[in-house]
Amino acid sequence: MDKFEAKSICLLGRQPALGLAELESLYGAEHLKPLAGTALLDIPADDIDFRRLGGTIKVARLLSVIDSTSWKDLAKYLIDNVPQHMQYQPEGKFTLGLSVYNLAVPLKQIEATLLEIKKLIRQSGKPVRVVPNKAPALNSAQVLHNKLTHKGAWELIFIKDGRRTLLAQTLFVQDIEAYGARDQARPARDSRVGMLPPKLAQIMLNLAVGRLTEEIEDKTRIRVLDPFCGTGVILQEALLAGFSVLGTDIEPKMVDYTRRNLKWLFEQQPGLEGSVAVELADATGFSWPGFTTVASELYLGRPLNSLPAPDKLKEIVSDVNLITKKFLKNLAPQLKPGRTICLAVPAWRRPTGQLIHLPVIDQLTDMGYNYSDLKQVGRDQLVYFREDQIVARQLLRLERTK
């Protein structure tokens, strides 16, 4: 890490540990350096497969390192340098946005700096517009709406790194409208099965597939299995990533929903090349043909609006644990040794935030599994939840014992 030379910055999502884990799985721990809700990479921003990432909000190219965290110094740097670059911009109006991370700077000072830059650019004869900050950092919607990743527009980013500040330019930002469209517009949806967010599905896929694409150049030869496919969210994201898919579910309605949703997906994205197979099957006893890896949200138990009484919760945990254990025993002999998989299992949240885990998690080694641990993120950090949720999703990154 002493020779680490940052070239790009990933701004991570609401649960940054998941985004960091995803990046490590794809690019390797040696290419990452965590930094308070962000990750520095020694990989050029253009080489990061941003559309594949569920846990990264923005990808930015590192422009400069400033040996100060004083806003006076940072503002002077922008005022001295930004107007000089206008000669390289295309004709027409230039749009500028500024985001500040991990620095305590009043919005009035950010606004004053932008207005000073705007005045200097206008004096050079170039029309310019600045994006007003509602918070120190612009959100994805603001970046998208103002087209700040397009030609003739910049979003500049300041990120504090110890006693220095990193300056970067955003190249990619999460398309929240696209996520919403492929989530809300699917023809078959069922809130009863948990509504797995597409971003989380992407993270799970990347934790499972990892760097397999370096071994298998033709992505369609990577076949992702989801044995509890539900409405097909993971299969959908796998197809969008270029993989082939195999899905099964014990409920005929879910098989029908998945087929309808994937048919709709191919109509929306006619260029998809991956093969699709969806079957009715009980995951506790089925034998799946020819899959490469597994990414799946297992049975989460009944939906809960509040934590039930201890005896009722014990019954719920026992029911889910039994299904999970049977599935894991059935899957183990079918897995290729050393191949990584990612499973989401339930963990119930107490009011204190403490988690109640499935007992079977302590028996994984006995069933032929090892944890495929990451260097930058602990396994206990791989938990997805929202503050109002009782049932969290615990991500298990596992491999078959060699």
Question: Are 19 and 143 within 8 A, CB to CB?
Answer: no
List of domains in the chain: 8-174 (3.30.2130.30), 187-400 (3.40.50.150)
**Could you tell me which of 296, 13, 300, 271 has the C-alpha nearest to residue 140?**
13
**Could you tell me the pTM of the whole model?**
0.96
Q: Note the pLDDT of residue 315.
A: 96
Question: Are 67 and 163 within 8 A, CB to CB?
Answer: yes
The residue behind tokens 């090349």 is 273
Give me the count of residues in the chain.
Answer: 402
Query: How many CB atoms are located within 10 Å of the residue 283 CB?
Result: 24
Q: Note the pLDDT of residue 353.
A: 87
pLDDT in tens, the chain (402 residues): 458 999 999 999 999 999 999 999 999 999 999 999 999 999 999 999 999 999 999 999 999 999 999 999 999 999 999 999 998 899 999 999 999 999 999 999 999 999 999 999 999 899 999 999 999 999 999 999 999 999 999 999 999 999 999 999 999 999 988 898 888 889 998 766 657 999 999 999 999 999 999 899 999 999 999 999 999 999 999 999 999 999 999 999 999 999 999 999 999 999 999 999 999 999 999 999 999 999 999 999 988 889 999 999 999 999 999 999 999 999 999 999 989 999 999 999 998 889 999 999 999 999 999 999 999 999 999 999 988 889 999 999 999 987
Q: Note the pLDDT of residue 303.
A: 85
**Could you tell me which of 276, 247, 394, 376 has the C-alpha nearest to residue 324?**
394
Rounded CA gap, 176 and 143, in Å?
Answer: 11
Q: Name the packing angle between helices 176-184 and 233-240 (round to 10°).
A: 130
Q: Note the pLDDT of residue 2.
A: 55
User: How far, in whole angstroms, is CA 226 from its chain's centroid?
Assistant: 18
Three-state secondary structure of the chain: CCCCCCCEEEEECCCHHHHHHHHHHHHCHHHEEEECCEEEECCCHHHCCHHHCCCEEEEEEEEEEECCCCHHHHHHHHHHHCHHHHHHCCCCCEEEEEEEECCCCCHHHHHHHHHHHHHHHHHCCCCEEECCCCCCCCCHHHHHHCCCCCCCEEEEEEEEECCEEEEEEEEEECCHHHHHHHHHCCCCCCHHHCCCCHHHHHHHHHHHHCCHHHHCCCHHHCEEEECCCCCCHHHHHHHHCCCEEEEEECCHHHHHHHHHHHHHHHHHCCCCCCCEEEEECCCCCCCCCCCCEEEEECCCCCCCCCCCCHHHHHHHHHHHHHHHHHHHHHHHHHCCCCCEEEEEEEEEECCCCCEECCHHHHHCHHHCEEECCCCCCCHHHCEECCCCCCEEEEEEEEEECC
Query: How many CB atoms are located within 10 Å of the residue 36 CB?
Result: 11
Q: Note the pLDDT of residue 202.
A: 98
